[in-house]
Chain A
Amino acid sequence: MIIDYVGVKEINGSLIVLDNVDNASFEEMVDIRLDNGQCRHGRIVQIEGKRIVIQVFEGTKSISLDNTRTRLKAKPMELSLSPEIMGRVFSGAGVPIDGLGDVYPVKKANINGTPMNPVSRIYPRNYINTGISTIDTLMTLIRGQKLPIFSGSGMKHNELAVQIVRQAKISDDEDNNFCVVFAAMGVKNDVADYFRRSFDQSGVLSRVVMFLNLANDPIIERTLTPRCALTAAEYLAFECNMHVLVIMTDMTSYAEALREFSSSKGEIPGRKGFPGYLYSDLASLYERAGMIKGSKGSVTQIPILTMPNDDITHPVPDLTGYITEGQIVLDRDLEGAGFYPPVSILPSLSRLMKDGIGEGYTRADHQALANQLFASYARVQDARSLASVIGEEELSPIDKKYMQFGKLFEQRFVNQGSENRTIEQSLDLGWKLLSTLPKTELDRVDDKLLDRYYISDPDRLDFDTDSKENQSEEE
């Protein structure tokens, strides 16, 4: 017997309360029909005896105490899945919005997913060649990893994400196994459109599944968007054996939507008003990256988040950093100097890198080189802060060398534009730059590697700085 409950008892933000409801189950879906014929969707978020609290995805605008009929659907929120979803565009709640009709489901899956058994995980080891020197050499992306981009408003994180998709695709030899799931949460229409166009230009659009919740879409839907996207990604990866790259932008908007929803529920706020369970909630998304035994596919995540006021200690980037396996941090100064991609080397990191590089993966000298570049570049910062006090002229000769190394490193290594570099090119460039420093300063690499890669002949170190500088000015 299907019962419609007429009217509601209470409306508060995006929540409505119903009384005298029988047989409701936790997180069950409901349809809410308005008198004007509109149908909205919702989910039960709290039960107290016969009183239930429903979260309305499309918002409570124009709902009154009497004009609704609510029907329980007796199932949790599910997403229709089939290999046909590739190339399609969905709303943030998983409803097709490209006018091509409903997906004929091969399978329906609960969007909350279930936690992966740690025993069933395969430890990720295969690196993804992104063609970007800084990422490949210093914070290598590994298949099955979750590596967020920490950015700020107005920086080129979208360009970087698109470049990764474009170049990672080319280097992939199992080409037809590659696909992208794109989740937009509270981004502007232009941004979503930029991604769509870029995917089109690089010829991957037919392999992209898009879930769009734009800036003016309801916030409750926003809290579902990444879950829908990841459910689709898990399906494509673990049942269709594909390598899925999930791009989620912008996680800060997602967290803010969660905060808005939490405060309307009257929950006790934690830091900066975010709910106390923000960590667990973010983890339930990020932890859905990985590879499992018995399946050839993988889910790799590149979440993008904008740090409010460029503050890395803000709860969203902070908690994200504790869950993800490293981070790529973008830097406003580098961006201001016209360098692209403006990857800030020192705070960036890839935790899975150490086991996915070196002999058999990239090249035997990779780890040592990366350590040395990090250490030397950290030393550059010391020299710079000293120079800002006493002036560059007064620096000791060795500090001057470091200043020069830092400049070259940023101009040549970090600033690569849209060029696609192989891993060998990137590593060789790294050695060439290190060779501008005296051999004795390189204390992170052992002598065998130094003998092999250190370029002692100064003539071979022609960086023709002038021409390059001119070039970058022209750009």
Chain B
Amino acid sequence: MKDIIYGINGPVVTVKDTRTFSMMEMVYVGNEKLVGEVIGINNKMTTIQVYEETTGLKPGDPVTGTGAPMNVLLGPGIIDNIFDGIERPLKAIEELSGPFISRGAAVSSLDLEKEWDVTIKVKVGDKLSGGQIYATCPETAIIEHRFIVPPTLSGTVTSVKPNGKYKLMDTIVTIKDNKGVEHDLTLCQKWPIRNARPCSERLPATIPLITGQRVMDTMFPIAKGGTAAIPGGFGTGKTMNQHQLAKWCDADIIVYVGCGERGNEMSQVLNEFSELIDPKSNRPMTDRTVLIANTSNMPVAAREASIYTGLTLAEYYRDMGYHVAIMADSTSRWAEALREISGRLEEMPAEEGFPAYLPSRLSEFYERAGRVETLCGSEGSVTIIGAVSPQGSDFSEPVTQNTKRFTRCFWALDKALAYARHYPAINWMNSYSEYFTDLDAWYRENLGDDFIKYRNKITSLLHEESNLMEIVKLIGADVLPDDQKLVIETAKAIRVGFLQQNAFHKDDTFVPLEKQKLMMKAILHLYSKSKKIIAAAIPISNITQLGLFERLAKMKYDIPNDKPEMFDQLIADIDSSLAKLTI
């Protein structure tokens, strides 16, 4: 019996009296073959969420199963591409249906006709197990695509094709498993998006993801394979921070998921990334970036899937031995998609209408991050950086609170800082990173013990300032003793000169760790020297007149990234100016 639609309610479609479908199976709905997924089955009714607009569907329209869970096609051509939430290539859809996305557009996720320059890495008789590399090809100028045996397969190579140009579906290697069944290995494979890809071992988070953003690298670092959340109300710069990270962090590959966000933002990413040149490789940023754009007006069910699609692509490249960072902007939109579908299913709501399974879904998502030893024995990582958009900037709402439980790095964005145009508006009092102790050894080894010492001193000065500001708010700064005034002056220099960072300035947009360290050193040098002078009963106004604090505030612009030796001059200048006071 053919399965037909019984009921329709928004993106949710039901089929009556059928036993054909399995949970999470991908199905085609209606005559236009809209993509959907089975999300509920009982004796009478099968419930399907449809990833496209359901206008015009009728009871009686056919529903056909695919026999497999919702999956994505993995192979060369992913990088430098832009997909929607269920891995449909938006550029190809544009060619097919113009500037507006029509329904049921049947396009292959990856280009089937393009020929790839494949180098075979195995020979007949080799034993292959899941995750091992059998061939490679250059995917973009900087990324080598490594073809890996699907994790579920293993066996002995029975035939190989010579090196040369092949299309996506061409068989290049055949293996025979221990049951004697032959499997063809092509340039692509499929993987269900809701299942994590296996790895052989998880490694500790001991290497930082270097972002070039001072407040992140120094104050609240994140490890490769770590998880971070960026919560903030609208206008506090979540997207801006995500863009900065996507541009500058030292991952090999970036997966940028625009989940329920603005269309113009995605076109900005497209524009900017194709113009921006990666300093390490001298190639456009797009050569290492995959974009997944499911903007807020695109179907809500596909928004829910987009996060998993992005993660699966990230894990696929991790398994080749790359460090991948995935930016999810924003996980709140994803949670809202969950809520919307849950409401349509008339499930019992928990907090604020969100389904009760919100925390478990969030933890499943963040647990797919990690630095691992891959099945082929190399090292790779997936770092997840998720933006959270709390309703009414209230961090006590369920998505932020649950995210906090499952991420170890929390960059809290602050409205007051954003209003004062202090960017990045990461509040140094509310944010934290649990990775600092894990990364301690790395910092000591690569930057010397000083780095940690300076960082701790800076943190304590900022805390001291915040305590003093409580008093200042009540009685004004004038009544404070000079040594406390110095703390306030120094903290101001830290805030303006160090924590604030100008994303539009050519030098300041990315700052190497060495310069970050020297900047801290210069600030603390002035602080400790001034402290001695004040102890000798010289008023602080004599010091502030010298304009040294202003110089510190501008050192990020004045000293280019490639001339750290200029800091010696700066410190010498500080010494000579201050020396005049004590004579």
Which A residues have a C-beta under 8 Å from some C-beta of B?
23-28, 46-50, 76, 110, 112-124, 144-145, 238, 267-271, 275-277, 279-280, 283-284, 286-288, 290, 292-295, 312-315, 318-319, 321-323, 325-327, 346-347, 349, 351-352, 354-355, 367, 371, 374-375, 378-379, 385-386, 389-390, 394-396, 399, 440, 443-444, 446-447
Contacts and interface: CB of A to CB of B under 8 A. Distances in A.
Interface residues of B, number: 78
Interface stretch (B91-99, B108-116, B210-218, B406-414): B91-99
A137 B50 CA distance: 45
Interface in B218-255: 233-235
Question: Shortest 8 CB-CB distances between A and B: which pairs?
Answer: A313-B392, A283-B296, A378-B420, A120-B99, A287-B297, A321-B234, A48-B7, A121-B267
A344 to B, nearest CB: 10
Contacts of B300: 277, 280
Interface in B44-68: 53-60
B421 interface: yes
26 contacts: A26-B54, A26-B58, A48-B7, A112-B55, A114-B100, A115-B298, A119-B91, A119-B93, A123-B268, A123-B270, A123-B271, A238-B99, A279-B333, A287-B262, A290-B263, A313-B394, A346-B420, A352-B264, A367-B504, A374-B420, A375-B422, A378-B419, A379-B420, A389-B474, A390-B475, A444-B421
Contact of B419 (A287, A346, A386): A346
Interface string B83-103: 000000011011000111111
B82 interface: yes
Contact of B100 (A117, A321, A375, A446): A117
Contacts of B296: 279-280, 283-284, 286-287, 323
Interface of B: 6-10, 14, 16, 53-60, 82, 90-91, 93-94, 98-103, 233-235, 258, 260, 262-264, 266-268, 270-271, 293, 295-298, 300, 333, 336-337, 339-340, 343, 346, 349, 352-353, 389, 391-394, 419-422, 472-478, 496, 504, 547, 550, 553-554, 557
Contacts of B93: 117, 119
A144 B476 contact: no
Contacts of A379: 420
Contacts, number: 226
B94 to A, nearest CB: 5
Given A47-B59, A110-B55, A375-B421, A118 B349 contact: no
Nearest to B421: A374
Query: Which of B234, B260, B271 has its CB near the most chain A CB atoms (within 10 A)?
Result: B234
Contacts of A386: 472-473, 476
B99 A283 contact: no
B82 A118 contact: yes
Contacts of A318: 234, 391-392
Contact of A24 (B59, B94, B262): B59
Given A112-B53, A349-B235, A378-B420, A119 B94 contact: yes
Contact of A117 (B101, B419, B475): B101
A313 B395 CA distance: 12
Nearest to B492: A443
B100 A116 contact: yes
Given A276-B336, A354-B504, A118 B266 contact: yes
Given A115-B298, A287-B263, A46 B9 contact: yes
A378 B60 CA distance: 62
Query: Which of B8, B271, B300, B353 has its CB near the most chain A CB atoms (within 10 A)?
Result: B8
Contacts of B343: 267-268, 270, 275-277
B268 A355 contact: yes
Given A118-B293, A325-B264, A26 B55 contact: yes
A447 B550 CA distance: 11
B264 A121 contact: yes
Contact of B352 (A26, A122, A271, A378): A271
Given A76-B55, A268-B343, A294 B99 contact: yes
